[in-house]
Amino acid sequence: MEIKNANLKFKGALTKRPSTTEIVLHHTAVTVKQSVEIIHNYYLNRTDDNFLGIGYNFYVRKDGTVWQGRPVWAQGGHCFYHNHKSVGICFEGDFDRETMNDKQYKAGVELIKYVLSLYPNCTIYKHKQLNNTACPGKNFPFDKMVKASKEKAQSAPKKETAQASSSAELKVGDKVKVTANYAASAYDNKAPYSASKGSVRYILKIYKGANYPYRIGVKKGVLTNDNTSGFANAKGLKKV
Ligand SMILES: [Zn+2]
């Protein structure tokens, strides 16, 4: 599954979510199509609270594309009393007045499956189960989507174990194991981040060429979800 990144700029430092036990599903509540940048700008201009930018971690469009909002590890601003423990996913549309098309539905299932692979013990909620709101609308295919997300997660093939893999073969979404205690670079490019042997992460991003942001002089590498550590040349990672 591809997660598109619009490189949104937030107006302050995002904080790491202390725990992740819930996935909360939302809709935009308008029928007009909106890019992730439009949603982000809406949040930047909101005056009812000090939003740093888009409140959701992911945004699923009607065309089936999935966009990164806040990074998956970051605390969101989408559900009162639950932001510190939930991943927020927003679906483009007003599902009180529309029904969801197949492309968007399938993208939602794949995305939830992916989030469950990162945080397997999550309970999935409609926003309205947790706050006083109609979100994500009476036509939102909640039960069907949750069921499909779990079915697919359970039947995912598990045979590719511990097969050594070069950086060229790693793809976004791949599950990887750290093969040695390895000093990766931290996200802020300051302190070295010590990745302990045996820990499991997921590839969030692959850098090739001069845009690898973590260590001067290194031209390629991968970014993983756990503490957003960067691995120069994908060294010390094995696909599992
Ligand atoms: Zn909502």
When divided into structural domains, the chain yields a total of 2
Range of 178's domain? Answer: 167-239
Ligand 1 centroid–CA 181 distance in Å is 41
In terms of phi and psi (left: phi > 0; alpha: psi -120 to 50; beta: otherwise), the region of 5 is: beta
Ligand 1 centroid–CA 224 distance in Å is 28
- Count other C-beta atoms under 10 Å from residue 156's C-beta: 9
CATH number at residue 43: 3.40.80.10
Same domain, 102 and 187: no
Same domain, 135 and 185: no
Nearest to 226 by CA among 181, 154, 191, 175: 175
Same domain, 53 and 88: yes
Ligand 1 centroid–CA 186 distance in Å is 32
Ligand 1 centroid–CA 32 distance in Å is 16
Ligand 1 centroid–CA 130 distance in Å is 10
Same domain, 178 and 212: yes
Same domain, 136 and 178: no
Q: Which of the listed residues 126, 155, 184 is the one where a domain comes to its end?
A: 155
Residues 6+ apart with CB under 8 A from 151: none
What's the 3-state SS for 11-39? CCCCCECCCCCEEEEEECCCCCCCCHHHH
| Encoded tokens for 78 | 């989408």
Give CA 140 to chain center in angstroms. 21
> Is this prediction's pTM over 0.85?
no
User: What does the pLDDT look like over 25-40, one tens digit per residue?
Assistant: 999 999 999 999 999 9
Ligand 1 centroid–CA 156 distance in Å is 29
User: What does the pLDDT look like over 175-187, one tens digit per residue?
Assistant: 888 777 655 554 4
User: What does the pLDDT look like over 198-223, one tens digit per residue?
Assistant: 777 777 777 666 555 544 445 566 76
Same domain, 145 and 213: no
Which DSSP string corresponds to 51-71? --S---SEEE-TTS-EEE-S-
* Domain assignment present for 9: yes
Same domain, 121 and 142: yes
Q: Which of the listed residues 88, 122, 155 is the one where a domain comes to its end?
A: 155
Ligand 1 centroid–CA 12 distance in Å is 23
Ligand 1 centroid–CA 2 distance in Å is 23
Ligand 1 centroid–CA 126 distance in Å is 8
Q: Which of the listed residues 134, 155, 176 is the one where a domain comes to its end?
A: 155
